[in-house]
Amino acid sequence: MTRIGILTSGGDCPGLNAVIRGAVLKGRTVYDQEFVGFLDGWRGLVEGDAIPLDRSKVRGLSHQGGTILGTSRFGPYQGPDGGAQNIARTLERMGVDAVIAIGGEGTAAASKRLFEEGIRIVGVPKTIDNDLGRTDYTFGFDTAVEIATEAIDRLRTTGNSHKRCMVLEVMGREAGWIALHSGTAGGAHAILIPEQPESIEQICEWVTSVRDRGRAPMVVVAEGFTLPDMAEAYSDKGRDEFDRPRLGGIADVLAPMIEERTGIQTRATILGYIQRGGVPTAFDRVLATRLGMAVTDLVADEEWGHMVALHGTDIVRVGFDEALANHKRVPKDRYEEMRIIFG
């Protein structure tokens, strides 16, 4: 019997538990695979801290947000027990034959390095930002968009009541997918994304045009958006565990600028971690379950160094190197398609 260790690494997102459930149910039923769950991401793998995963443990998980295994920003090369050689010894001691790593770009990069150093590992892509290359969608993204769209709907009612301009900031780091999709769904009058800088003059022109029609302007901005004169995305929260700037706050920068230039009362709302919490949408539950089931096929076929991905409606297999080759950002034509109806 093949014994597989599952871990969830990096930021949490809705759908992680559905992946775990899908893997355990199919792996046990079809391949007679046995599962353990490493706790708190790579830390559990490095330190050999795991719990058994059977049908009773994953019962009813498809609708549950977060991850029952916990997650962290701990890396597999950290600490005295880190590194491929030490991890290999830990896996041998625990009787674990292979690892399924569920995570985003950082997790895929770490998995690729471990694979190249002899660890039998496969992956499942995860990020609400939808910015991983070689997969059309990642689970968690649809939930984040749904939450952001609901926020737009709610802000619109209070904006209309006070005749204010409302600026909603959403997540996405260097990718504007959440902003583009939620802004489109919510009928935003301007959508500002990292891939396409817009001047404050253009933003105010859109806002004024909306006000002149007797409407309350709604602006959706991605956290990584920059004005043309900004050298980098706005950050005043220091750096994260990967030495990346903690983004957030561009809405608080834009709101007073818009109010000063247009004379329209303007209020900013930063949605933040709400986008990553709560129960997954039906789409994300289905996608996560399918990916979890498909990754057990990768293990059975011993296609180490690969991850499962969504192409159209099909679940396919791609190498870690392919997945990391391109950072998926919003193409100019996709943005221009919606820009026509701003204002």
Which residues are annotated binding-site positions for substrate? 127-129, 164, 171-173, 223, 267, 273-276
pLDDT in tens, 204-254: 999 999 999 999 999 999 999 999 988 888 777 767 666 677 778 999 999
Is 297 designated active site? no
DSSP letter assigned to residue 159? H
Which residues are annotated binding-site positions for Mg(2+)? 105
How far apart CA 92 and CA 183 sit, in angstroms, is 49
Look at residue 330 in the predicted model and tell me its pLDDT: 95
Considering the candidates 12, 40, 129, 284, report the single residue annotated as catalytic. Answer: 129
Q: How far apart are the first and last CA of the chain?
A: 61
Q: Cβ(157)–Cβ(187) under 8 Å? A: no
pLDDT in tens, 59-81: 998 999 999 999 988 899 998 99
Q: What is the mean pLDDT of the chain?
A: 93
CA 269 from chain centre, in angstroms, equals 20
Containing H/E element for 151?
Answer: helix 141-162
- Tokens representing residue 116 in the block: 């190249």
Look at residue 234 in the predicted model and tell me its pLDDT: 72
pLDDT in tens, 283-299: 999 999 999 999 999 99
Extended strands (E) in 60-217: 98-103, 121-125, 165-170, 190-192
pLDDT in tens, 246-284: 778 999 999 999 999 999 999 999 999 999 889 999 999
- Axis-axis angle for helices 16-31, 282-300 (nearest 10): 40
Which residues are annotated binding-site positions for ATP? 11, 73-74, 104-107
How many Å is the maximal CA-CA distance in the chain?
Answer: 70
Q: Walk me through the domains of the chain, giving residue ranges and CATH numbers.
A: 3-139+280-324 (3.40.50.450), 142-277 (3.40.50.460)
pLDDT in tens, 45-62: 999 999 999 999 999 989
pTM for this model (two decimals)? 0.93
Look at residue 3 in the predicted model and tell me its pLDDT: 96
pLDDT in tens, 100-123: 999 988 899 999 999 999 999 999
